[in-house]
Amino acid sequence: MDVRDIHRPAPALMKYYVFLSFLFGPLFFIALIPYYFRYHTMRYDFDDEGISMRWGILFRREITLTYARIQDIHLTSNLIERWLGLARIQIQTASASASAEMTIEGLHEFAEVRDYLYSKMRGVRAGIAQPASAQEPDLASALREVAGELRAIREALEKR
């Protein structure tokens, strides 16, 4: 499964929203309206640089994050979400807000998306400082060899 093909949340999210609106008791149908539009207008886009997420019909909102700026990714699920096979992926950057900058909800593939985001994040791929020799031709010995070659050239020129 390719994470980039994900654009819409799963229909189970609407069920979860219906459940959430029941928490409002007899006024549940009023609470359901914003949830309904939120679900139907929610779009995700995973591209080379980052993720964007947008929703809303009267008040539109669009959040764009760059993979490189992601700090922590948390996975949270309550009982109802687990029954529906969902979890929230809460993504934080280093901004000053206590809540998550972006919450990706309504995906059954939350584990894959989380791992995908981690593979794109800074500090995961090349996080460990390695000795120079491990990752590139040894700089010091190559320079020494260059010096040796130059010395040999000088000697060759002097012998002429």
Partner 1 sequence: MSWRDTVLRVMRVPPTPAPPPGSPPRVFRAAPNFFALRVIGWSIKQAVAVAGLLFAVFAFHRADVFNSWTERIFLAAEVLGALALTAEILFGWMIVRLDFELRWYMLSDRALRIREGILTVTEKTIVLANIQNIAVRQGPLQRVLGIADVEVKTAGGGGKSDMDRKGRVAEPMHVAYFRGVDNAEEIRDLLREGVRAQRDSGLGDLDDDEVGSGAGAAVVELLAAARELRAVVETGKR
Taking CB under 8 A as the criterion, the residue among 66, 106, 109, 116 binding partner 1 is: 66
22 makes contact with partner 1 (CB under 8 A): no
Residue 158 binds partner 1 (CB under 8 A):
no
Nearer to partner 1, 57 or 142 (CB): 142
**Interacting residues of 90 by C-beta distance below 8 A, sequence separation 6+:** 73, 74, 75, 76, 100, 102, 103
> Which value, in Å, is the radius of gyration of the alpha carbons in the chain?
26
**Measured distance CA(143)–CA(134) in Å, rounded:** 17
Residue 64 backbone phi and psi in degrees, to 5: -125, 130
Return the number of other C-beta atoms located less than 10 Å from residue 90's C-beta.
17
Told to check if 114 binds partner 1 by CB under 8 A, we report: yes
Could you tell me the two tokens for 127?
């996080």
Site for partner 1 in 131-150 (CB under 8 A): 132, 135-139, 142-143, 145-146, 149-150
Residues that bind partner 1 (CB under 8 A): 66, 68-69, 71-79, 82-83, 87, 90, 92-100, 111, 114-115, 118-119, 121-129, 132, 135-139, 142-143, 145-146, 149-150, 152-153, 156-157, 159-160
